[in-house]
Amino acid sequence: MGTATLPPPLTKKDFQTDQEVRWCPGCGDYAILSAVQSVFPELGIKRENFVVVSGIGCSSRFPYYMNTFGFHTIHGRAPAVATGIKAIRPDLEVWVATGDGDALSIGGNHTIHMLRRNVGIKVLLFNNKIYGLTKGQYSPTSEFNKKTKSTPFGSVDRPFNPMSLAIGSEATFVARSVDVFQGHLKETLKHAAAHKGSAFVEILQNCNIFNDGAWFSLTERDARSEHVIQLEHGKPLVFGKNRDKGIRRKSDGDIEVVQLGNGITESDLAVHDAHHPRPSYAFLLSHMEHRPGFPTPIGVFRAWDDLPRYEDVMNQQITDVIAKRGPGDLGKLLRAGDTWEVK
Amino acid sequence: MSTLAEVPPVKNKREVLDQAVIRFAGDSGDGMQITGSQFTNTAALYGNDIATFPDYPAEIRAPAGTIPGVSGFQLHFSSNEVYTPGDAIDVLIAMNPAALKVNIADLKANGILIVNSDSFKEGDLRKAQMTSNPLEDHSLDKFRLFSVELERLTRRSLEHLGLDAKSMDRCKNFFALGMCYWLYNRSMDPTVRWIEDKFKNKPLLVEANKLALKGGYSYCEATEAFQISYEIPPAQLTPGLYRSMSGNQALALGFVTAAQKSGLRLFQGSYPITPASDILHELSQYKDFGVMTFQAEDEIAAITSAIGAAYAGALAITTTSGPGMALKTEALGLAVAVEIPLVICDIQRGGPSTGLPTKTEQADLLQALFGRNSEAPIPVLAAATPADCFWVAIEACRIAVKYMVPVIILSDGYLANGAEPWRIPELKDIPDFPVKFASDPVGFLPYKRDPQTLARPWAVPGTPGLEHRIGGLEKQDPTGNINYEPLNHENMVRVRAAKVAAVAQDIPNVLPAGDLEGDLLMVAWGSTCGSITAALKAQRAKGRRIGHLHLRHLNPLPSNLGDILKRYKKVLVPELNMGQLLWVLRAKYLVDAVGLNKIQGRPFKQAELEQKIEEMLGL
C-alpha cells in the first residue's frame, strides 16, 4: 500500500464536537476533556472505532463533547452497557466516563463485575468527592463527617477508596492521576489505552462549586511533593521536596516511611512493580493515604495484562463450539429431539 | 369429558377412550416432573394431542413429606384436540400422604387412585397433618384405590444390582410410570431411550431405572391389578412433523430463528429468575448458531448490556419475570428514548414482590403497558399457547428492528412450563426480514425518520462518518443533540407515541372464534386461550351465540377491535388478575365489559368459565 492513500493523521480538533461544553467555569472536567482529546489522536485508532459511554452526573456529559460514537446512558449503568457493546464488537475502543457517585454508589455493582470479568473497557472515574449535578450532597468517596446539604451535622459514612476497591476486584489495570497534572494525566491515559483488559483510572478532580479544594493538599505547589508519591514501574518509591523520603518493605510484609540518609539509601527502598500478577502489593500501596505520615500515590498501581479479555473469551467459546460442532443448522435444530409424523 | 366413571371394571378388558387426564403427585424429591414429562413425551410420540400442567413448589426441597413440598404434573391426552390440561383427573398417582391430601379433591368419583402404601406409616401421616390413615378409614371409598408397595416392589426389582436403599428408592417413580404405561397400553421404548441417554455415563443407573420401569409394567401384567386397561387412539392433527414444545423452549427457538431471518447476531442479557431461567439455559446451548448469552450481575445489567449489544448491532433480548421487570424499568425508558431495537420477555408469575415464584398469573399487563416514568409507550405482545411463543418471538423481533423500538413479550409460568404438540414449520415459509444498518454519511442525522415507520436509522459504532451521540436526555428532532425546548419535547413525545401506534399497520384485523356476532363476546389474552376455547366449544354446542377474541397485540390494539366489541350484547373479559385488560378496554372503548378474575396462581378451569358465561346469559 502506498503511503499516499493514508488519510491525514487525526488531531485534537477531530475529537471536538460543535456542542457547547456546559460544565461550570473552572471545573476540573475541562482539563480531563482536553487531555483525552489530546491523547485519542495519538492512539492510532480510527475515529469511528471509538465509543465513549457514560452514566449520569457531571462527568457523564463527556460523550457529548467527544466527536466519536457516544452513548449517555443511565445512572451507574455505563459499565454494563459498555460490556454489551464490547461483547458484540470487541474491535471497538470503548471508554467509560463516570464519577464517584455513578461508579461507586448507584453503579458499584456493575463496576466491580466489569473489573472482575476483565472486559476490555477503559474507565475514567472523575473523583471530586461530592455530588455535583444534584448540587452538593456527600458521595461515597467523601471523607467521614463531611458537612454537606444532605449531612448538615456531618456524614457518618466511611468512604470508599477507589483504588482499593478496584484492586480488591482484581482489576488488571489500576491507576490514578490528577486533573491539573496535565502531563501526568496524559501519560496515564496512554498507559491505560495500551492495556488490553479492564483499565480503571481514577482522576482526582476539583469541583470548584460544591467541594472546592478537596485535593488541594495534593495539588498546591508547596504541598505537592511532600504529600504525593509518583509510582513508576521499576523505580524505587521516593518522595519529598528533596526526594529524601521513601517507602521500605518491613519484614512482616507491611511498609514504612523512611528518611533517606544515615545509612539508608534508595537501594533499601521498595521498587515499584506494577506488573506483579497478584494484587496484594498494589492493595498495600492503595492504603498508604489513610496512614499518618504516608504520601498519596499517583501513577500506575497495577498493570498486569496476562489475563484474557472477557469479550475475547466469550467470542472464542462460540468459535470453538462452531469448530467442534460445525455451524448450527436451524432446520435441524427445530426438528431436534423426539418427533412424530402425522399423515 | 372422559368416561372412566361410566366404565364398569371388567377383568382383563381393554377399553377405548377418547381422552384421559392423569396427574403424578409426590414430594419434590420424588421426580414427579420427570415422570410426567416422560408420560407426556410418550403420549405425544404416540400421536395424542396433549396439554400439560406442571405445578411445583418454589422451594427446591421443602421438608420431605410435607404439604408445601408437594410437586405435581398433570397431563391431558386425547384422540381429539385438547385445549387445557383438564379440570378433573381420571388417574391420580400419589407418592405420599401429603400428595394425596393436596390432590384428591380433583380426582373424579370412581377415578383410579394409585398410592405408594409404603409411605403411609404413622410418621408420614403426621407430616401431612393427617390424624387417621386414609388407606384404612374408608375416606377413599368412592375411588378405585390401588395401594401398591412401591418401595418394597422397586427394591425387589433392583436388589441384585447392589445399590444402596436410597438409590433404589429413587427409582420408584419409574416403577409407577411403568404401571401407568401398562394401564394405557403405551410403549416403554421412548422412556428407555431417554434413560439410556440421561445416564449414559452411569451404566448402573441405566439398568436400575430400566428395571424399575419394566418392573412396574410387569407387576400390572402379572397381578392383573387393574383388571382393565385403556386405549386412547392418536388424534387427527394437521399433517406434518410434530414435536412436544414448551413455552420457554419455543421462545428460545423463535429468537434463534429471528436472528437468522434478520441476519443479525443474537445477544441475550439475563439474570436467573423463575420461571424465565429456562430461556437462558436453552439459548446458552446454541453457541454453534453464534448466539451470545450473558448471565449478568443483576437484572439491570441484563437489560443494559442488551441495550449496549443492540447499539452495537445485535438482535438483543433480555428475559425475566415480574420482579426483574420492575428492576428493568428505568432501562426500558432509556431504550424508548434512544429508540433502539430490543425484546424484553416477561414470564409472569404470581405477585406482588416475590409472590408465588412457580405459580402462574397475568398481572403484569399494566406494568408492561405503563410501568415507566413519563410517556414511554412500548409495543406489547402476548403468547396464547406454549408453541405460540415461537411465533411471538419472531414477530417481536421483526417489530423491534423495523420500528427501532423495544418490544415486550408477555408469557407466564403456565405457558413457560406447559407443553403441547408443535407442528414444526418449514423454514422457507418464515419470511426473512433483513436489516440494513445506516452507512452513508451524506445527510445522516441520528433522528431522521423513515416516513412510513417513523424509525430512526440504526447507525452502529465503527461506521465511518456516522459518529454521533445519543442518550437519555431529550433530543432535538432530527439532530439528536440535547434539547430542552418546550415544543421540541412535545413533538418528540408525540413522535415516539405515533411510532408505536404505527405498528398497528402491521397488525391484521382480528376475527373472533365462534359466533361473529351474538349475545356474548369473551375478550382475553395470553395463557387463558386453551380454557376459553374449550368453554366456547362446550357452550356453543349447547346453542349459545357467543364468540371469543384472543388478543396477541396488546399495544397497539388491533384497529378493528372497537367495531367487534359492538357486535355482541355483552363482553366478558376473563383474566388471571384483578381486571387489567378489562380496565384498558373500558377506558379505550367505553364498553361496559365485565371481568372474570381468578388470582390463585392457577389457570382457569373450563367449568369456571362456563359457569360465568351462563350467569351472564341469564341461564
Predicted confidence (pLDDT) per residue in A211-264, tens digit: 999 999 999 988 899 999 999 999 999 999 999 999 999 999 999 999 999 999
Which residues between 276 and 315 in chain A have a beta carbon less than 8 angstroms from any beta carbon of chain B? 314-315
Residue B165 domain-assigned (yes or no): yes
Residue B586 domain-assigned (yes or no): yes
Residue A296 scores a pLDDT above 60: yes
Q: Do the Cβ atoms of B26 and B32 come closer than 8 Å?
A: yes
Which residues between 216 and 275 in chain A have a beta carbon less than 8 angstroms from any beta carbon of chain B? none
How close does chain A come to B428, measured CA to CA in Å?
A: 10
Of B429, B451, B466, at which residue does a domain stop? B429
Q: Quick check: B233 contacting A, CB < 8 Å? A: no
Candidates A37, A77, A329: best to mutate against B (most CBs of B within 10 A) is A77
Q: In what order do the strands lie in the sheet with B406-412?
A: B292-295, B266-270, B315-320, B342-348, B406-412, B380-382, B553-555
Using CB atoms, pick whichever of A72, A87, A340 lies closest to residue B309. Answer: A87
Which residues between 68 and 87 in chain A have a beta carbon less than 8 angstroms from any beta carbon of chain B? 68-75, 77, 80-87
**Residues of B with Cβ-Cβ distance to A110 under 8 angstroms:** 297, 300-301, 304
Burial code (b: 16+ CB inside 10 Å, e: under 16) for B194-217 equals bbeeebeeeeebbbbbbbbbbbbb
Burial code (b: 16+ CB inside 10 Å, e: under 16) for A233-268 equals eeebbbbbeeeebbbebeeeeebebeebeeeeeeee
User: Can you give the CATH number for the domain in which B296 is found?
Assistant: 3.40.50.970
Candidates A13, A66, A112, A342: best to mutate against B (most CBs of B within 10 A) is A342
CA dihedral B345, B349, B351, B355 (to 10 degrees): -120
Which pLDDT does position B107 carry in this prediction? 97
What is the number of residues in chain A?
Answer: 343
Q: Quick check: B309 contacting A, CB < 8 Å? A: yes
Domain A8-235+274-314: CATH architecture, name and number where available: 3-Layer(aba) Sandwich (3.40)
| A318–B290 C-beta distance less than 8 A | yes
Residue A153 scores a pLDDT above 90: yes
Predicted confidence (pLDDT) per residue in B305-336, tens digit: 999 999 999 999 999 999 999 999 999 999 99
| B310–A334 C-beta distance less than 8 A | no
- CB atoms < 10 A from the CB of B146, how many? 17
Beta bridge partners of A122: A95, A199
Together in a domain, B214 and B285? no
Together in a domain, B77 and B224? yes
Which pLDDT does position A226 carry in this prediction? 93
Predicted confidence (pLDDT) per residue in B208-240, tens digit: 999 999 999 999 999 887 889 999 999 988 999
Candidates B246, B286, B289: best to mutate against A (most CBs of A within 10 A) is B289
Candidates B297, B299, B435, B479: best to mutate against A (most CBs of A within 10 A) is B297
Residue B570 domain-assigned (yes or no): yes
Give which of B272, B533, B303, B496 is closest to B403, Cα–Cα: B496
The pLDDT mean for chain A works out to 96
Candidates A47, A339, A343: best to mutate against B (most CBs of B within 10 A) is A339
Q: Quick check: A342 contacting B, CB < 8 Å? A: yes
Which pLDDT does position B2 carry in this prediction? 40
Which pLDDT does position B357 carry in this prediction? 95
Which pLDDT does position B60 carry in this prediction? 81
| Alpha helices by DSSP H, A128-241 | 162-168, 182-194, 216-219, 221-227
**Residues of B with Cβ-Cβ distance to A73 under 8 angstroms:** 304, 307, 334, 471-472
Which pLDDT does position B413 carry in this prediction? 97
| B243–A337 C-beta distance less than 8 A | yes
Which pLDDT does position A305 carry in this prediction? 96
Candidates B304, B390, B470: best to mutate against A (most CBs of A within 10 A) is B304
Residue B454 domain-assigned (yes or no): no
| B265–A81 C-beta distance less than 8 A | no
Beta bridge partners of B32: none
Confidence of residue B59 (pLDDT cuts 50, 70, 90): confident
Predicted confidence (pLDDT) per residue in B329-358, tens digit: 999 999 999 999 999 999 999 999 999 999
What's the mean pLDDT in B364-383? 98
Using CB atoms, pick whichever of B307, B330, B333 lies closest to residue A84. Answer: B307
Give which of B84, B69, B77 is closest to B32, Cα–Cα: B69
Predicted confidence (pLDDT) per residue in B546-570, tens digit: 999 999 999 999 999 999 999 999 9
Which pLDDT does position B7 carry in this prediction? 40
The pLDDT mean for chain B works out to 95
Which pLDDT does position B88 carry in this prediction? 96
Residue B456 scores a pLDDT above 80: yes
How close does chain B come to A139, measured CA to CA in Å?
A: 22
Which pLDDT does position A4 carry in this prediction? 60
Query: d(Cα A93, Cα B536) in Å, to the nearest integer?
Result: 59
Of B411, B429, B447, at which residue does a domain stop? B429
Domain that holds residue B547: 513-616
Query: d(Cα A101, Cα A122) in Å, to the nearest integer?
Result: 18
Using CB atoms, pick whichever of A83, A330, A340 lies closest to residue B242. Answer: A340
User: Can you give the CATH number for the domain in which B163 is found?
Assistant: 3.40.920.10
Residue B346 domain-assigned (yes or no): yes
Predicted confidence (pLDDT) per residue in B168-207, tens digit: 999 999 999 999 999 999 999 999 999 999 999 999 999 9
Query: d(Cα B38, Cα B75) in Å, to the nearest integer?
Result: 11
What backbone torsions phi and psi does residue B16 show, to the nearest 5 degrees? Answer: -95, 125
Using CB atoms, pick whichever of A69, A321, A339 lies closest to residue B461. Answer: A69
What is the number of residues in chain B?
Answer: 619
Which grid cell sits at B135? 388407606
User: Can you give the CATH number for the domain in which B609 is found?
Assistant: 3.40.50.920
**Residues of A with Cβ-Cβ distance to B308 under 8 angstroms:** 53, 71, 80-88
| A88–B287 C-beta distance less than 8 A | no
Q: What burial class does residue B529 get, using C-beta atoms within 10 Å of its C-beta: 0-12 exposed, 13-18 middle, 19+ buried? A: buried
Q: Do the Cβ atoms of A119 and A90 come closer than 8 Å?
A: no
**Residues of A with Cβ-Cβ distance to B296 under 8 angstroms:** 80, 113
| B292–A314 C-beta distance less than 8 A | yes
How close does chain A come to B581, measured CA to CA in Å?
A: 31
- CB atoms < 10 A from the CB of B169, how many? 19
Together in a domain, B131 and B100? yes
Chains A, B: CB pairs < 8 Å: 210
CA dihedral A181, A186, A189, A193 (to 10 degrees): -170
Residue B4 scores a pLDDT above 70: no
| B47–A340 C-beta distance less than 8 A | yes
Which grid cell sits at B238? 394437521
* B480 to chain A: closest CA residue: A64
Residue A53 scores a pLDDT above 60: yes
Together in a domain, B226 and B306? no
Angle CA B283–B286–B290, to nearest 5: 110
**Residues of A with Cβ-Cβ distance to B316 under 8 angstroms:** 84
What's the mean pLDDT in B593-598? 98
| A110–B297 C-beta distance less than 8 A | yes
| B427–A48 C-beta distance less than 8 A | no
Together in a domain, B305 and B190? no
Which grid cell sits at B556? 397497539
Alpha carbon A221 to its chain centroid, in Å, reads 25
**Residues of B with Cβ-Cβ distance to A326 under 8 angstroms:** 288
Residue B44 scores a pLDDT above 70: yes
Which pLDDT does position A252 carry in this prediction? 95
Give which of B334, B335, B327 is closest to B346, Cα–Cα: B327
* A322 to chain B: closest CA residue: B288
Alpha carbon A290 to its chain centroid, in Å, reads 20
Using CB atoms, pick whichever of B267, B297, B465 lies closest to residue A84. Answer: B267
What's the mean pLDDT in B297-307? 98
Q: Do the Cβ atoms of A64 and A19 come closer than 8 Å?
A: yes
pTM to 2 decimal places: 0.94
Residue B434 domain-assigned (yes or no): no
Confidence of residue B1 (pLDDT cuts 50, 70, 90): very low
Residue B262 domain-assigned (yes or no): yes
Q: Quick check: A318 contacting B, CB < 8 Å? A: yes
Angle CA A17–A19–A20, to nearest 5: 125
Which pLDDT does position B439 carry in this prediction? 98
Query: d(Cα B161, Cα B154) in Å, to the nearest integer?
Result: 12
Alpha carbon A19 to its chain centroid, in Å, reads 25
How close does chain B come to A170, measured CA to CA in Å?
A: 16
Which pLDDT does position B61 carry in this prediction? 79
Query: d(Cα B451, Cα A70) in Å, to the nearest integer?
Result: 26
Q: Quick check: A16 contacting B, CB < 8 Å? A: no
Q: Do the Cβ atoms of B593 and B612 come closer than 8 Å?
A: no
| B314–A88 C-beta distance less than 8 A | yes
How close does chain A come to B180, measured CA to CA in Å?
A: 20
Q: Please, which residues have CB within 8 angstroms of residue A55's CB and are 6 or more apart in sequence?
A: A73, A74, A75, A76, A77, A78, A96, A98, A99, A102, A103, A106, A107
Which residues between 105 and 144 in chain A have a beta carbon less than 8 angstroms from any beta carbon of chain B? 109-110, 113
Query: d(Cα B1, Cα B86) in Å, to the nearest integer?
Result: 9
| A91–B242 C-beta distance less than 8 A | no
Predicted confidence (pLDDT) per residue in B6-26, tens digit: 444 444 689 999 999 999 999
Give helix then strand counts, H and E, for chain A: 11, 12
Residue-range domain boundaries for chain A:
8-235+274-314, 237-271
Residue B3 scores a pLDDT above 70: no
Question: CA quadruple B24, B28, B29, B34: dihedral positive or negative?
Answer: positive
Q: Quick check: B314 contacting A, CB < 8 Å? A: yes
Confidence of residue A13 (pLDDT cuts 50, 70, 90): very high
Candidates B48, B195, B311, B484: best to mutate against A (most CBs of A within 10 A) is B311
Of B231, B259, B293, at which residue does a domain stop? B231
Question: How many structural domains are present in chain B?
Answer: 3
Which pLDDT does position B58 carry in this prediction? 84
Angle CA A266–A270–A273, to nearest 5: 125
**Residues of B with Cβ-Cβ distance to A56 under 8 angstroms:** 472
Query: d(Cα B453, Cα B436) in Å, to the nearest integer?
Result: 14
Which residues between 137 and 196 in chain B have a beta carbon less than 8 angstroms from any beta carbon of chain A? 190
Angle CA B574–B577–B582, to nearest 5: 55
Question: DSSP state, B290?
Answer: T
How close does chain B come to A314, measured CA to CA in Å?
A: 8
If DSSP codes are grouped into helix, strand and coil, which group holds residue A50?
strand
Using CB atoms, pick whichever of B239, B288, B312 lies closest to residue A89. Answer: B312
